[in-house]
């Protein structure tokens, strides 16, 4: 499993959706992934607990890979790789 330093080196786009409520974290995640080429990664930070369910489900449905998920100090941090 990759550590956060390794994951951060792979990130092409960072999305800070802190303080935003559903559906904004998911919409910002989708927009970021749409800008990426296959194989590139995005890091998303959210404070909305609903984003955990939404972003994980979206990754499965869309075929994008959820590389890692962390919860730190009420922040939800996702690393996703575009399919």
Residues labelled catalytic: 22
| Cβ neighbourhood burial of 5 (10 Å; 0-12, 13-18, 19+) | exposed
Name the DSSP class of 68.
Answer: E
Sign of the C-alpha dihedral, residues 75, 17, 39, 81? positive
């Amino acid at each position: 499993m990759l550590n956060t330093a390794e994951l951060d080196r792979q990130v092409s786009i960072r999305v800070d959706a802190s303080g935003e409520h559903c559906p904004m974290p998911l919409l910002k995640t989708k927009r970021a992934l749409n800008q990426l080429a296959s194989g590139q990664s995005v890091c998303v930070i959210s404070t909305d607990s609903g984003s955990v369910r939404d972003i994980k489900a979206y990754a499965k449905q869309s075929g994008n890979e959820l590389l890692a998920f962390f919860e730190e100090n009420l922040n939800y941090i996702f690393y996703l790789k575009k399919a």
